[in-house]
Amino acid sequence: MAPPEDRPLRKEIISNPLFRTIFTRLGLGFVTLFAVSLIIFAAIAVLPGDFAKATLGRAATPETVANFQKSLGLDRPVAERYLKWIGGAVTGDLGLSFSSGSGTPRTVGSIIGPRLKNTLFLAGITALVAIPIALLLGIIAAIRRNSWLDRILNAVTLASISFPEFFVAYVLMLLLAVKLPLFYSLARVTPSMGSIEVLERIALPVLTLSFGIIAHMMRMTRAAIIGLLSHPYIEMAKLKGVPPWRVILRHALPNAWAPIVAVIAFNLAYLIVGVVVVEVVFVYPGIGQAMVDAVRSRDIPVVQGCALIFAASYILLNLLADVIAIATNPRLAHPR
């Protein structure tokens, strides 16, 4: 039992709306992740094709295929395989890759780990570029509402949202790597490269990802700020002669952080989860490219590990968005 002097502190922590929200969201996140893991495992289990038959070829005898499946554990019941996989995933063990061949078995973590670092690096650089630009453009559009600048920004952002990523990627590759050889058309990076060379090689993937993300965040920032400009406290600040920029930064923006942070977290989740197309187009060695390669080779453990990491990243970033939104606007923690 806890000492008597610790009980008021524990009670205060539990009753705190922010901590209560964190605990509630964490519980829901674990339940959601468990449900997603079931869907991932079931979906991959029913996919057509057999890794053993694809690896051994058509000339393999049924006995050879059966022995190979037994060595990989594919002969066990689906429920037993799922429990073993999810039990190992809880402890950080995602199993062994099927593509190890007859050599030393490779763990899924050793395959995904370096690729995940590359994806997080690409997502981080993109966020550093896109978030400040999107917030600045959103504030400018809100201040100059219905002006020619606002109309141009809205038209450009609508157009950028409409273009699919692979189209933007190929257009940028044609213009900035073929017609004007300013950047590399392929983003193949290795650990031996220097920081400047790595940034030069990932320039086009960063531009491609930023193209749509800036549009989403800019429009959400504009809408959130415009929705607050008609409130009485904003009118009072204007009547006092406060400059428009100060009205936005000191009065409107702090109350608009909740929806802005939500869309930022959503786009950060998209950067990690939705980079598959961009990584494949630019041959970037990230987790999305690793998942596509694993699907081609029917490496089931790697596919399951990548999908589980994508789901966990999305859930954690949404939890972070909820926590930041409540921390910046405590009214969201209380029921209405």
Q: What CATH number corresponds to the domain at position 193?
A: 1.10.3720.10
The answer as to whether 321 is a domain residue is no
The answer as to whether 334 is a domain residue is no
Hey, what amino acid is at 134?
A: A
Please give the backbone phi and psi of residue 107, each rounded to the nearest 5 degrees, phi first: -75, 155
Hey, what amino acid is at 22?
A: I
d(CA 87, CA 237): 57
The answer as to whether 201 is a domain residue is yes
Residue 301: predicted pLDDT = 85
Residue 288: predicted pLDDT = 85
| Percent of the chain whose predicted confidence (pLDDT) is above 90 | 0
Integer CA distances (angstroms), 158 to 86, 130, 212, 215, 256, in order? 42, 16, 9, 7, 22
What are 311-326's pLDDT values in tens digits? 888 888 878 777 777 7
The answer as to whether 316 is a domain residue is no
3-state class of 240 per DSSP? coil
d(CA 235, CA 34): 49
Half-sphere exposure of 149 (CA within 13 A, CB side): 10
What are 285-296's pLDDT values in tens digits? 888 888 888 888
Place of tokens 């979906």: 43
The answer as to whether 237 is a domain residue is yes
Helix 148-162, helix 108-143: angle, nearest 10: 160
Here the tokens at position 223 are: 């809408």
Residue 54: predicted pLDDT = 66
Residue 332: predicted pLDDT = 60
Here the tokens at position 57 are: 């070829």
Residue 151: predicted pLDDT = 87
Residue 90: predicted pLDDT = 83
Place of tokens 């004007």: 180
Q: Where are the alpha helices (DSSP H) in the chain?
A: 7-15, 17-45, 51-56, 62-72, 78-90, 108-143, 148-162, 165-173, 195-201, 203-228, 232-239, 244-246, 253-255, 257-273, 276-282, 287-296, 300-328
Give residue 199's domain range: 118-286
- Please report, in angstroms and rounded to a whole number, the separation of the first and last CA atoms in the chain: 36
- Bridge partners (DSSP) listed for residue 107: 96
The answer as to whether 306 is a domain residue is no
The Cα angle at residue 183 between residues 177 and 185, in degrees rounded to 5: 55
Residue 193: predicted pLDDT = 81
The answer as to whether 253 is a domain residue is yes
Tens digit of each residue's pLDDT, the chain (336 residues): 455 555 554 555 555 666 777 778 788 888 888 888 888 888 877 776 666 666 666 666 777 777 777 777 777 777 888 888 888 888 888 887 877 655 567 888 888 888 888 888 888 898 898 888 988 888 888 888 888 888 888 888 888 888 888 888 888 888 888 888 888 888 888 778 888 888 888 889 999 888 888 888 888 888 877 877 777 777 777 777 777 777 777 777 777 777 777 777 777 877 877 788 888 888 888 888 888 888 887 788 888 888 888 888 888 887 877 777 777 666 665 555
3-state class of 96 per DSSP? strand
| Count of the separate structural domains present in the chain | 1
Instruction: Calculate Rg over the CA atoms of the chain.
Output: 25
The answer as to whether 14 is a domain residue is no
Residue 12: predicted pLDDT = 54
For residue 333, the tally of other CB atoms under 10 A from its CB is: 16
Residue 69: predicted pLDDT = 72
Name every residue whose Cβ is closer than 8 Å to that of residue 243 and which is 6 or more positions away in sequence: none
